[in-house]
Chain A
Amino acid sequence: EADIYQTPRYLVIGTGKKITLECSQTMGHDKMYWYQQDPGMELHLIHYSYGVNSTEKGDLSSESTVSRIRTEHFPLTLESARPSHTSQYLCASSPSAPSYEQYFGPGTRLTVT
């Protein structure tokens, strides 16, 4: 099993709150990713990072922001949560090429009321 962790696993918050979803990996991977997944739907890439101080937006537009100050840590922040942000957020990491594998964390189920 991959050593990638996400906290919290479940979060229910009110509209307008600021939240940070944590993601950490102990594998020393350079690349990290955030995906958003709604029930029965495909995963959508919202942010990724090639390494420390590198962050890029993914395919799906998101109001969230990310930071990569340390290799092992890739937190995602929502400054003002809205009901439209309700979703599952999955963090993943992968070593630099040549490797095809992405290792996923268990996910955070976010509900904004």
Chain B
Amino acid sequence: KNQVEQSPQSLIILEGKNCTLQCNYTVSPFSNLRWYKQDTGRGPVSLTIMTFSENTKSNGRYTATLDADTKQSSLHITASQLSDSASYICVVSDRGSTLGRLYFGRGTQLTVWP
């Protein structure tokens, strides 16, 4: 069964600190992995997309890593800001269909305190 598991479920950090969010997946055949940021009451916004051959990708203070062998990914946030408070969702796409079906994790709810 294709699944995406994220940890921790929630996380509280102080402004300026770094944090790392984890994602494990069982989706096969693998196409790509994405990290989205979803603010409360809003739609998800893409942060990074990585294919099988990529093992790291950065977007400003966000750095995602991918280990396709162990089927794990992480999202590292550097020097957190209050605006980083959101849900971070790991999404894996398969290549077994024309649609490129997406499998969503439940997200990690990050809260940044001043």
Residues of A within 8 A of B (CB): 1, 4, 6, 31, 40-45, 48, 50, 59, 90-92, 97, 100-107, 109
Q: Is B102 an interface residue (CB 8 A)?
A: yes
B105 and A42 contacting across the interface, CB-CB below 8 Å: yes
Q: Which residues from A are CB-within-8-Å of B34?
A: 100
Residues of B within 8 A of A (CB): 4, 31-32, 34, 41-46, 49, 51, 89, 93, 98-102, 104-107, 109
Q: Which residues from B are CB-within-8-Å of A6?
A: 43
Could you tell me the distance between the alpha carbons of A97 and B99 in the complex, rounded to whole angstroms?
A: 9
A41 and B102 contacting across the interface, CB-CB below 8 Å: no
A45 and B43 contacting across the interface, CB-CB below 8 Å: no
B interface: dominant SS? strand
B32 and A104 contacting across the interface, CB-CB below 8 Å: no
Residue of A nearest to B44 (CB): A104
A42 and B104 contacting across the interface, CB-CB below 8 Å: yes
Residue of B nearest to A90 (CB): B43
Could you tell me the distance between the alpha carbons of A100 and B44 in the complex, rounded to whole angstroms?
A: 15
